[in-house]
Amino acid sequence: MVQFSTSRLDTSFAALSDATRRGVLEQLGSGDASITALADKFHMTLTGMKKHVGVLEQAGLVTTEKVGRVRTCKLGLSRLAEATAWLEDYRRLWAARFDALDQIVEDLKQRETVDGRKQQE
Amino acid sequence: MDASSKSDPAAGKAATTVERTSERELVVTRTVNGPARLVFEAFATPELFQQWWTPASFGITLISYEADIRTGGFYRLEMGHPAMEQPMAFFGRYLEVTPTSRMVWTNDEAGEPGQITTVTFEEKDGVTLVVVHELYPSKEALDGAIASESTGAWPEQFDALDQLIATLDAGA
């Protein structure tokens, strides 16, 4: 069953509501970069840039990897994060289905109750 | 007043769990508050099935649906989503339909043997445990489904993001 990543899309849109974060994505589109390099590029403190990268990472738009003392950022999800996100989307799809199914079953139960009463009359 | 009316419709929904139980298998479980015969009816009656299979809360809509729900019967359905230009078709065959305990169907839309979906209904004390088991033909097939549908979704998502960025930038 194909998955639809609407929740991730929402998080992505929220992450992109900020001009700096959009700039960071554009920058990473032309190559991986360290947080320090990104901070320099956007004239920000390291702490400020870490926060922005954190939001992008949460939204699944950016992956970071620490090698030695340098944390490198690149576009996209890690394989593990992708698999986890896929499973969660899959679970959400089924949860939404079952929530709708609950209502159908509830209606069927009501119908049986009504039919039962009619038969007794 | 009958006893069933005491149930609060806003009361907590039962939990849906998903687990990759092996290299080739996914298992979904959910308890439904009703007897197995009614839960089965909601799965095996096309008029009812189409009311919940493509939940609006998930942003997907059912475009067309036909099904002959009996052992050996075929089904075909088309779903739409705002992010997709074309509807997506799903089709296959029912390998087994056993009221009120078990349904098994194939998923043939990929053009090669796809996963086999087995749904079982186990009633206990008036509630029914539904177990959806999906068995992929190989580890590669399940890995591939996960990879292609995650990364495969990215071009579309990035298209949507590109459009949003363009709109935001134009307004700035």
Render pLDDT for B145-161 as a digit per residue (tens, 0 to 9): 887 664 434 444 555 55
Residue A75 has pLDDT above 90, yes or no: no
CATH class of A1-121: mainly alpha
Residues B149 and B100 in one domain: no
Counting other chains too, the contacts that B158-161 makes at CB distance below 8 Å and 24 or more residues apart are B160/A9, B160/B83, B161/A12, B161/A13, B161/A16
Residues B133 and B155 in one domain: no
Whether B152 maps to a domain, the answer reads yes
CATH code (residue B24): 3.30.530.20
Query: Which domain covers residue B162, as residue numbers?
Result: 140-172
Residues B61 and B83 in one domain: yes
Checking ipTM against 0.85, whether it exceeds it is no
Residues B74 and B103 in one domain: yes
CB-based contact, B129 to chain A, within 8 Å: no
Residues B48 and B121 in one domain: yes
How high is the pLDDT of residue B102? Answer: 98
Whether B50 maps to a domain, the answer reads yes
A10: closest CA of chain B, how far (Å): 10
Has this prediction a pTM greater than 0.80?
A: no
How high is the pLDDT of residue A41? Answer: 96
Residue A65, burial from CB neighbour count under 10 angstroms (0-12, 13-18, 19+): exposed
Residue A33 has pLDDT above 90, yes or no: yes
How many domains does chain B fold into? 2
When the pLDDT of each residue in chain A is averaged and rounded to a whole number, the result is 85
Whether B5 maps to a domain, the answer reads no
| Rounded Cα distance, B59 and B52, in Å | 12
Among A20-24, A117-121, B132-136, B163-167, which is the least confidently predicted range? Answer: B163-167
Domain-wise residue ranges, chain A: 1-121
Q: Which residue from B58, B132, B134 is facing A6, i.e. has the nearest CB?
A: B58
Low-confidence spans in chain B with pLDDT less than 70: 1-12, 148-172
Residues B73 and B28 in one domain: yes
Residues B93 and B69 in one domain: yes
Highest mean pLDDT among A65-74, A80-89, A100-109, B9-18: A100-109
